[in-house]
Amino acid sequence: MTDTTLIIADNQPLTALALRTWAEKNELAGSIIESPDQQSLEDSLRELSDENVLLIIDVELFDFSGKDELIAFFQTHDQLRKLFIGDHFNEEELFFIAEEMQSNIVLKRVDLEELRIAVSFTLKGRYYIQSELLNLLMRKNAAPVKPENEEVHLTPTEKDIVSLIASGKTTKEVAVIRSLSYHTVVTHRKNIFRKLGVSSIHALTIYAIKSGLIDTTEYYI
């Protein structure tokens, strides 16, 4: 049992009940709150510290007026650990959630063991996208990260850091594994993002898969 408060933000009672029952059985949180709409979610968050909250949310079933309101909400609550769920996502929705919202994503029909891994990664601040959805993202990002005539030169250390980040390791974990200072890893990350022309972990992960730096069979998605 953890001190984390799990908020299930979904206005489908059966889905919320199923998630609550599953979370209680697996002792994923110290307490569980169901929020069927934005106002109840805001009310709950006023009583809690964002960094102690795990939010599982289906935004399609919520009453956000659009992308701008959704972005503004999560900018206000930028310490929330969040996992987006949904019955389906088209490429545009998936790209928005993964790239702009920098959020973890699974489908509601995900296997329960995979859902447990997704929640575990989210709690640890790691990135997680279900493999079925990652394939959609890769098609969306079919073009090279850099123009074909512009070769990307990553050092062996940078390649290693890319593979670690793409496999779900946090900056602190990379620092420990590589015996580097936290600030050194941050500097490497900035250089890697600049060289590759990417701005998110999800885009970096797609690059790592295409470049063979990680094996998708070993990537927990």
pTM above 0.85? no
pLDDT band at 2 (very low <50, low <70, confident <90, very high): low
3-state secondary structure the chain: CCCCEEEEECCCHHHHHHHHHHHHHCCCCCEEEEECCHHHHHHHHHCCCHHHEEEEECHHHCCCCCHHHHHHHHHHCCCCEEEEEECCCCHHHHHHHHHHCCCEEEECCCCHHHHHHHHHHHHCCCCCECHHHHHHHHHHCCCCCCCCCCCCCCCHHHHHHHHHHHCCCCHHHHHHHHCCCHHHHHHHHHHHHHHHCCCCHHHHHHHHHHCCCCCCCCCCC
169-196 pLDDT per residue, tens: 888 889 999 999 999 999 999 999 888 8
